[in-house]
Chains A and B, each alone.
Chain A
Amino acid sequence: MKCFLKIVLICLTIVMAFATHEGVDAQMKPNYLPRTIGAWTRPESPEIINSDNIFKYMNGAGELYLGYRFDHLEVFDYTSENQENILVELYFMETSDDAFGLLSLDWGGEPVSFDGLPAKSSDRLPKALYGAGLLRVWSDNLYIRIMASHETPASKQAVLDLGKAVTADRKNSPEPELLKFLAPDVDSGWKLRRDRQSFFRSHLALNSVYYLSHANILDFDLSAEAVIASYEQVAAKEPIRSQFLLVKYENRARAFKALNHFHDAYLPDHKKEIIEDSSAKNLSLFKIEDGWTGYKLIDNYAVIVFKCPDRKSARTIINKNEVNLEGNHKR
Chain B
Amino acid sequence: MQNKKTVITRRDFMRGTLGATIGASVLGFNWPVSEAKAAGSSLVTVVRDKSALDASNKVNSKALNKMLELTLSKVTGKNNPKEAWLSLVKPDDVIGLVPTDHLNQTHDEVVTAVKSSLVNAGIPKDKIIDAQGGPRYPEKCTALIALPALKAHWLTGIGTVLKDYIMFSGSPDSYHKGNSAKLGEIWNLPFVKGKTKLVLVDSLYPLCDKGPQPDPRYQWAYNGLVAGTDPVAVETVCVKIITEKRKALRGEPWPLSPPPICVEAADKVYGLGTSKMEEIKIEHYGWEKELLL
Contact = CB atoms under 8 A, between A and B. Distances in A.
Given A61-B154, A210-B257, A289-B14, A134 B212 contact: no
A213 B155 contact: no
A134 B217 contact: yes
B33 interface: no
A217 interface: yes
A214 B261 contact: yes
Contacts of B181: 214
B172 A266 contact: no
A31 B281 CA distance: 58
Contact of A60 (B7, B27, B212): B212
Nearest to B159: A60
A208 interface: yes
A60 to B, nearest CB: 5
A64 B9 contact: no
B11 interface: yes
A47 B210 CA distance: 24
A239 B207 CA distance: 27
Interface residues of A, number: 37
Contacts, number: 99
A189 interface: no
A226 interface: no
Q: Which label, helix, strand, loop or mixed, suits the secondary structure of the A interface?
A: mixed
Interface string A142-161: 00010100110000000000
A208 B257 contact: yes
B134 interface: no
Interface residues of B, number: 38
Nearest to B214: A147
Contacts of A62: 212
A61 B9 contact: no
Contacts of B257: 207-211
A58 interface: yes
Contact of B8 (A59, A133, A147, A215): A215
A106 interface: yes
A44 interface: no
A108 B172 CA distance: 31
Contact of B211 (A61, A131, A209, A214): A61
A131 B172 CA distance: 32
Nearest to A217: B7
Interface string B214-257: 11110100000000000000000000000000000000100101
7 contacts: A59-B102, A134-B217, A208-B258, A211-B255, A213-B10, A266-B9, A266-B10
Interface of A: 55, 58-64, 105-106, 108-109, 131-134, 145, 147, 150-151, 204, 207-215, 217, 239, 265-266, 288-290
